[in-house]
Structure 1
Amino acid sequence: MKETNMYKNVKDTFPKQLIDMIEDENFRIVSDEISDGTITLQFYSPEGQDCYYDIELSYFINQELPIDWSMLACDGISYCRDYDVSEQTMLWLDEFGHGKNGAPYDMKDVYEDFEWVKNRILTLVEIFNRYNKVAINDVWQLSCT
């Protein structure tokens, strides 16, 4: 059976309490339909960046109930570990350090905005941990490698 047949929409895949926790933290679920095995969340940074975070569902396909939601926390931790604030800042600046594509003029403001984005993903990690009732240290020890 294909992944898209198992997870047709967010409401059938995620428990309502988890959806509520995500939305309470001002993450918006882009679409209720799941067609490519991911759920996309949208949020805005203080400087107005339109940010997206994809939640991959592929490892839930063969997982027995109850689902171990801490895997979502591990994905978030891995994403943050690989997220290079300096690189993202440089992509949003021109060769003189001035904002482009709607970026703030001051390089410091751009850098701080990308730090905020990285920390926002850590908020998702906390949400998944709270839902799974696992402390972040336990996630590292039990699930994340």
Structure 2
Amino acid sequence: MDKKYIAHIGNLLVILGMALPVLHIDGGDVTLITYDKTAFLGIILVVLSIVSSVTVYRKKYALGRRCAIGILVGLLVTFLDNYLDLSIIKGMDLTDIQGIVEATGLLWGWIVLFVGSILGVYATTWLQGEYEDNKKVEGEVLPHGRF
């Protein structure tokens, strides 16, 4: 499969993940876009996903990679800032982690978001590397002055 398709699939997963439940609050499940604390960031991540897909389509892989990394960093910051208390992570075992997930109501939407962002970073990094390698090869002078 072409790496461009992997990048588009990753960005599509991030956009779809914005509509999936990520947190369970007393009133029900919320998404990143409908939750008050994360609504603005959710919109920014959707815009970054769209920009990343457009730049990959237009073969501007460096900008697409920056957007994909921005999506991953934004998700990590949101996840850690809003849902985990970092002071309780020291010396945890599996039952403690399960207790945190149950207490905070973390849902499966995070999985889709992180898989999509990791796919986007992987594909755009690979595409950027291939593009730079092809650029170096094209710049070399071949015999008889041909490029």
Scaled to the shorter chain, the TM-score interval is 0.3 to 0.5
**Higher Cα Rg, which structure:** 2
Give the structure with the larger strand fraction: 1
Give the structure with the larger helix fraction: 2
Which is bigger in relative contact order (C-alpha 8 A, separation at least 6)? 2
TM-score, L = length of structure 2: 0.36
